[in-house]
Structure 1
């Protein structure tokens, strides 16, 4: 079932969301000082391509630096990415088949706002 959901996700949403995160990551790499946000953005882009069967957990040892970095991220990129997840999630929930994809989109809002100090792990 995860494979089928991931394939539908990839076609309808995943590719576009991953491109959005990749663009944000490239901009962060161009500015050099924001490379840590670029790394997090590419990690989320990978997650946005294939989310079912994986989940986001807090990284042990992430502290105040992650919180400060997340506050900066929200201002420059996180808010726009979160809005795109919310709009896409609402759009997907219009159809019965799209409801699980919409719910997955809503779950991704949290990581789009706070990417630093998070880790993506496989669900058993």
Structure 2
């Protein structure tokens, strides 16, 4: 079922989201300073190409890397993350106005979560997350 939903997602706009994040990641990686944020754009691109069947989780990292992640996430929010969040919130609300669009709107809401706090988040398949929850 998630394969069919992912194909429909790609046909009706998901591919444009993917290419937008790829273009943003490449532009950020052209500058040396922007490479960490470019890598996060690539993470968002991977998540946006096939969002059905995937989830995001916070990775359990060392305490010092957590502090660095918080600082990088604050810079992300100030210089572009807010626009990512507003964009996904708008499309999520718009798509949830119709019954057919609700599953796709929910995927945009999942991307809001990653758009707010990309550093320290990992993308896992739903099968892996069930295994992590039981372990």
TM-score, normalising length from structure 2? Answer: 0.86
Report the alpha carbon displacement of residue 96 of structure 1 after superposing the two structures with TM. Answer: 1.1
Report the alpha carbon displacement of residue 104 of structure 1 after superposing the two structures with TM. Answer: 1.3
Counterpart for residue 12 of structure 2: 12
Counterpart for residue 121 of structure 2: 118
> Which of 51, 56, 68 pairs up with 2:71?
68
Report the alpha carbon displacement of residue 19 of structure 1 after superposing the two structures with TM. Answer: 2.1
Cα deviations by residue, 1:31-72 (Å, 9 ceiling, x for unpaired)? 211211111110110110101111101112140000000000
Counterpart for residue 37 of structure 1: 37
Q: Distance in 1 between matches of 2:16 and 2:94?
A: 14
Report the alpha carbon displacement of residue 103 of structure 1 after superposing the two structures with TM. Answer: 1.2
- Equivalent pairs counted in the alignment come to 124
Counterpart for residue 83 of structure 2: 80
Counterpart for residue 22 of structure 1: 22
Stretches of structure 1 that go unaligned for 5 or more consecutive residues are none
| Max Rg structure | 2
Greater RCO, 1 or 2 (C-alpha within 8 Å, sep 6+): 1
Q: Distance in 2 between matches of 1:108 and 1:55?
A: 9
Q: Which runs of 4+ in 1 moved over 3 A?
A: none
